[in-house]
Structure 1
Amino acid sequence: MEGPYPDIQGGGSLILAWQIRNKHVLVIGGGEVAAGRIVNVLNADAKVTVVAPRSGLNDEVAYRVHQKQVEHVDRNFEPSDLDGADMVMCAVDDPEASSQIYKLCKEKRIAANIADVPPECDFYFGSVHRDGPLQIMVSTNGNGPKLANIVRKQIAATLPYNIGTAIQRVGMLRKKLRKVAPNIEEGPKRMQWMIKVCEKWTLDDLCEMTDEDMEELLGFYKPNTVPSLEAVRLGEPDGAFDGPFLI
């Protein structure tokens, strides 16, 4: 008999959006795997240091170094490199050295990812689809990275072409709304009103919404109504929306 609440499956991982803006991320190694890790953390606005001999840098990592997108320490890893690190990613072809680095990270309580060694990973990298502010990650919890990539592509193929732009415009509207209704007690009403906008307006409407449209739309927050985009642009008074435009 099924219970009233979701069944516990176990064996998974907690998928989070980890904010690492301005955090210090240490990448050990300079090959292809390291290059992929670097892109991921740079996209999250982290401060990245790469420790690897210059002779071991692949073209992409060397480019990041040349462009000063990352700091580079031209030598093999030393334990002192962990000082000040908030996160460590190890991508070297030396299992014994990798395990030692993981142990050092555990001693210092630093979250670490040891490439291709799931038991020595505090977190995994999934296959990510990115469209502006939209990020969708598919994880197989280390069981099948290639399958994660296949699933991610199938999901991305089903998304509307303009979803990223729509989300960006909604984000701008939310920021403006917080200025209109900044009080904490307005929180539930703000949330419900934004839900109404997202449900009533199409993605095309959201993409086409200009700053002027946002200012007009925000005028309908106080009476808690949501007119159509067309009605917003006609500049009808609040009282005009007592029919199909009310939610």
Structure 2
Amino acid sequence: MSTNFPEIQGGGSLILAWQIKGKEVLVVGGGEVAAGRIVNLLNADAKVTVVCPRDGLNEEVAYRVDQGQVKHVDRMFLPLDLEPEKNVAMILTAIDDPDASTRIWKYCKRLKVPANIADVPSECDFYFGSVHRDGPLQIMVSTNGNGPRMAAAIRRQIGEMLPKGTGDSIQKVGQLRRKLRKIAPGKSTRDISKRMGWMSEVCDKWSTEEFNNIDDADMEDLVQYYESGIVPSFEEIRLGQRGDVVWEFDGSFGWM
């Protein structure tokens, strides 16, 4: 029997992309930590409610309240904030009161509401990592609570290593996938596998810069190759399929 399988490394977290769009999220507290959490949540299109006395809001959180970006409950947290009819999907606490935070965490456990208690890993159902963001691209670095500052440094290093325009190229890949699904809408396992395989070959063959340079006409030309299973190069699409291209020869080779 083969034993060539991945080695198990315990002690990690299951890193997921949590789809929180349109869901209710409660943030308890209004200081600097809460402000950072709110940015992450709004970037994920969550519906955010901040529970904190008005005089406890820092400048950034107060701005988001005043701009209507988040709802505001002007008082301390109460159990009624997690009543079932409010459909709270998760709660984040960022307050300077460990006892109150623990009480909120225990209440969340009884109600089975996922919670993140700032700076108390043992009372967190999930963690926030250091995230590099470039359009649709998100890369999270997590140290599982051991070294947040190091996570931030590593995240910056990763961001600097990525080719310029990576986010834009990923955006183009998404557009290409949608065009492909229009001409090949099959939903069987075989259809899905074929689409994924062809797209994988395109992504392996084309560079970030080439994806950045393609337009809608290029994409339309490219997806026409799908049924044949062929993956043309960028040059074949841009030059070989355009009737408006003027070919110039420098005399370095002759006609056979």
**Runs of 5+ in structure 2 lacking a partner?**
243-256
- Shift in Å at residue 3 of structure 1? 4.0
- The equivalent residue for 2:219 is 214
* 2:221–2:241 CA contact under 8 A, matched in 1: no
Show CA shifts across 1:176-219 (max 9, x none).
Answer: 11111111231111111111111111111101110111111111
Q: 1:105 aligns with which of 100, 103, 108?
A: 108
Q: What one-letter code is carried by the residue in structure 2 that aligns with 1:87?
A: M
What count of residue pairs does the alignment treat as equivalent?
A: 236
- The equivalent residue for 1:36 is 36
Could you list the structure 1 runs, at least 4 aligned residues long, displaced by more than 3 angstroms after superposition.
234-237
Show CA shifts across 1:75-119 (max 9, x none).
Answer: 111111112211000000000000000001001100000001000
- The equivalent residue for 2:245 is none
- The equivalent residue for 1:189 is 194
* 2:105–2:115 CA contact under 8 A, matched in 1: yes
* 1:23–1:86 CA contact under 8 A, matched in 2: yes
RMSD: 1.4
Q: Name the % identity.
A: 62
Output aligned runs, 1:41-56, within 5 Å: 41-56=41-56
User: How far apart, in 1, do the equivalents of 2:3 and 2:144 lie?
Assistant: 27
- Shift in Å at residue 230 of structure 1? 2.5
User: How far apart, in 1, do the equivalents of 2:138 and 2:183 lie?
Assistant: 28
* 1:65–1:71 CA contact under 8 A, matched in 2: yes
User: How far apart, in 2, do the equivalents of 1:64 and 1:90 lie?
Assistant: 17
User: How far apart, in 2, do the equivalents of 1:70 and 1:113 lie?
Assistant: 19
- The equivalent residue for 2:165 is 162
- The equivalent residue for 2:57 is 57
Q: 1:92 aligns with which of 66, 75, 95?
A: 95
Q: What one-letter code is carried by the residue in structure 1 that aligns with 2:238?
A: R
Aligned to 2:226, the other structure's residue is in SS state coil
Aligned to 1:207, the other structure's residue is in SS state helix
Q: Output the TM-score relative to the length of structure 1.
A: 0.93
- Shift in Å at residue 229 of structure 1? 2.2
- Shift in Å at residue 131 of structure 1? 0.4
User: How far apart, in 2, do the equivalents of 1:202 and 1:35 lie?
Assistant: 37
Aligned to 2:68, the other structure's residue is in SS state coil
Output aligned runs, 1:111-150, within 5 Å: 111-150=114-153
Larger displacement relative to structure 2 (148-157 or 21-30): 148-157
- Shift in Å at residue 234 of structure 1? 3.6
- The equivalent residue for 1:200 is 205
* 1:216–1:235 CA contact under 8 A, matched in 2: no
- Shift in Å at residue 236 of structure 1? 4.1
Q: Output the TM-score relative to the length of structure 2.
A: 0.89
* 2:28–2:52 CA contact under 8 A, matched in 1: yes
User: How far apart, in 1, do the equivalents of 2:184 and 2:44 lie?
Assistant: 29
Aligned to 1:184, the other structure's residue is in SS state coil
- The equivalent residue for 1:12 is 12
Larger displacement relative to structure 2 (101-110 or 156-165): 156-165
